[in-house]
Amino acid sequence: MADSNVFVESQTNDTRRRRVPAPCAMVIFGASGDLTERKLVPALYYLFRAGLIPEGFLVIGCAKTPYTDEAFREKMRNGVRKYLNLPEGDYGNLDEFLKKLYYISNDFATCEAYSELRERLNQIDTGHGTGGNRLFYLATPPSVFPGTVACLGAAGFAQPEEDGKCWTRIVIEKPFGRDLASARELNRIVTNVFKEDQIYRIDHYLGKETVQNLLVFRFGNGIFEPFWNRRYIDHVQIAVAEHIGVENRASYYEEAGLVRDMIQNHALSLLSLVTMEPPAIFDATAVRDEKAKLMRAIRPLPLDRLNDYAVRGQYVEGWSDDQRLPAYRAEPKVSPQSITETFAALKLFIDNWRWADVPFYLRSGKRLAKRISEITVRFRRAPHLLFKGTGLKSIEPNRLSIHIQPDEGMSLMFNAKIPGTTMQIRPVTMNFHYDEAFGHAPPSTAYETLLLDCMLGDSMLFTRDDFVELAWELLTPVLNRWHEDGRKGLSFYEAGTWGPPEADAFMERDGRAWQEF
């Protein structure tokens, strides 16, 4: 049996080093749902094709839906081919991979079902040589998390059978709680059964290459960090925009809303990586310590002047590419009187030496003009307009754009003289794109890196309990105030636009404007 910290290194013909985890069994609860078919199994197959899945590996899907092993494999085959988007000839070893997939149909809300899981694991474990290592993945609705965790503990799955010689880990999908009180309670329930270093709270945004590259960009280059502070940066914008509506998630979205769905996890995680201090060493504890320290420095939003710091909106009927888009309240399973926000914009300040008085604008929404996630760093203007004698009235401030999706990369905008006999200046851009620089685009689901890190025991890209609670501590008072206000203060915007007019006015009051895409 392999130690939890041991991994194998192999070398490809392009000299890149690859980490292959120890053998293990992955158990997915809620395996009949979309997440498993669209993201998890395609990501696992991507790792398998790359030689990053250990020889001793298996997956057991667990759910109520009555599938046989073969029916489950066929469903996953279709998912891999549909969502991984590989060239047709690149699925040659898919059948070999699918042989590692199994399925148990049972009601895993009852602890009796876990005895069948243990028997099945014991039955096929030896044949696959997984070494007793276990990775449990909760791809279920959040309401099921406490019961599943409790049953895993009652069935004796929480601790390795031979302490120190094999490992057990649990992966929990967002949302982790719906407010500060529920997050603390869920943390209490989970940590009563599993140790914190066994718990992997997953945010798939942190698996995207550009997000990971933020640490390298900031701390692996000598030219950027010296001006990464209040002296040179005017403000920062973080946009997480979706073109789609709520689709088939209306029941969840009515309970959650935009802030719980996107701001509390994705946007605040991005903010922490952009603004955290350099860690002493590059390991999970040091990086997550700095992220938590940054979260503690975010100034609470003043509830008596909340409209100066926050905007919430909901989409109404609109148009995009000559297609009519329904209003949120007209979506199936949405209340005709719903006050759920589908758009939110926040202005945050970080009270520390590096960022004092620099505003950070977070914007996210459904049914916006296009799908894009981007971090925009706006630098201060040049302190003196040297060229005003030439008739030039102003120069555009420099801008760094970090493109997270769909086209991962970075671009830097600076000013240059237009060739000719007169002094004319125009903004120009230097671009970096992953597919151009490295010959291929990053993996398509962002789960590839995260699942591999789970199996390797590397928790750097996962959210720790203190970060979760600090995020809810910041946002819960805002959500409570919005709930109390009801329809009052809720703005509306046409589907297919960039949000309500109040969001533009929100920026204009500060003498700034949203980045155009």
Average pLDDT of span 23-32 = 95
| SS3 labels along 354-418 | CCCCCEEEEEEECCECCCEEEEEEEECCCCCCCCHHHCCCCCCCCEEEEEEECCCEEEEEEEEEC
pLDDT greater than 90 at residue 482:
yes
pLDDT greater than 80 at residue 387:
no
Pairing of strands 409-417, 425-433: antiparallel
Three-state secondary-structure class, residue 244: coil
**Confidence (pLDDT) at 163:** 61
Is the model more confident about 203 or about 29?
29
Cis peptide before 443 (omega within 30 of 0): no
Q: Which candidate in 266, 384, 433, 440 is catalytic?
A: 266
Average pLDDT of span 233-242 = 97
CA distance 90 to 181: 48
pLDDT greater than 80 at residue 409:
yes
Average pLDDT of span 144-152 = 94
- Least confident window among 27-36, 94-103, 245-254, 487-496: 245-254
**Confidence (pLDDT) at 259:** 96
Q: Does domain 8-173 have CATH number 1.10.1740.110?
A: no
Average pLDDT of span 199-221 = 88
Instruction: With cut-offs at 50, 70 and 90, classify the pLDDT of residue 178.
Output: very high
pLDDT greater than 90 at residue 165:
no
Alpha carbon 165 to its chain's center: 32
Q: Where are the beta strands (DSSP E) in 167-248?
A: 168-173, 199-202, 233-241
Average pLDDT of span 354-365 = 98
**Confidence (pLDDT) at 27:** 97
**Domain span(s) for CATH 3.30.360.10 in the chain:** 207-258+302-444+477-508
pLDDT greater than 50 at residue 234:
yes
Question: Does residue 200 contact residue 462 with C-beta atoms inside 8 Å?
Answer: yes
Is the model more confident about 405 or about 138?
138
For domain 207-258+302-444+477-508, give the fold: Dihydrodipicolinate Reductase; domain 2 (3.30.360)
The fraction of the chain above a pLDDT of 90, given in percent, is 69
Average pLDDT of span 381-403 = 80
Q: Residues 321-332: pLDDT tens digits?
A: 889 999 999 999
Written as six digits, the tokens of 141 are: 């609705």
Residue 348, burial from CB neighbour count under 10 angstroms (0-12, 13-18, 19+): buried
**Domain span(s) for CATH 3.40.50.720 in the chain:** 8-173
Question: Does residue 240 contact residue 208 with C-beta atoms inside 8 Å?
Answer: no
Average pLDDT of span 164-181 = 90
Average pLDDT of span 12-34 = 76
pLDDT greater than 60 at residue 412:
yes
Instruction: With cut-offs at 50, 70 and 90, classify the pLDDT of residue 408.
Output: confident
Q: What is the mean pLDDT of the chain?
A: 89
Average pLDDT of span 223-246 = 95
Closest CA to 360 of 236, 204, 482: 236
Length of the chain: 517
**Confidence (pLDDT) at 389:** 66
Question: Does residue 378 contact residue 390 with C-beta atoms inside 8 Å?
Answer: no
CA distance 68 to 61: 10
Q: Residues 3-20: pLDDT tens digits?
A: 434 444 443 333 334 678
| Sheet architecture: strand order including 24-29 | 101-105, 57-63, 24-29, 134-138, 168-173, 199-202
Q: Residues 113-146: pLDDT tens digits?
A: 999 999 999 888 888 888 889 999 999 988 899 9
CA distance 329 to 459: 40
Q: Write phi, then psi, for 395 (nearest 5 degrees).
A: -125, 135
Instruction: With cut-offs at 50, 70 and 90, classify the pLDDT of residue 411.
Output: very high
pLDDT greater than 90 at residue 391:
no
**Confidence (pLDDT) at 162:** 60
Pure H helices in 84-208: 94-98, 113-128, 145-154, 180-193
* Letter string b/e over residues 300-317, b meaning 16 or more CB atoms within 10 A of that residue's CB: ebeeeebeebbbbbbbbe
- Least confident window among 123-127, 185-189, 370-374, 386-390: 386-390
Question: Does residue 91 contact residue 48 with C-beta atoms inside 8 Å?
Answer: no
**Confidence (pLDDT) at 395:** 80
Which string of DSSP letters, residue by residue, matches 39-89?
A: IIHHHHHHHHHTT-S-SSEEEEEEESS---HHHHHHHHHHHHHHHS---GG
The fraction of the chain above a pLDDT of 70, given in percent, is 93
Give catalytic status of residue 440 as yes or no. Answer: no
Closest CA to 239 of 355, 431, 446, 378: 378
pLDDT greater than 70 at residue 444:
no
Alpha carbon 136 to its chain's center: 20
pTM for the predicted model, two decimal places? 0.90
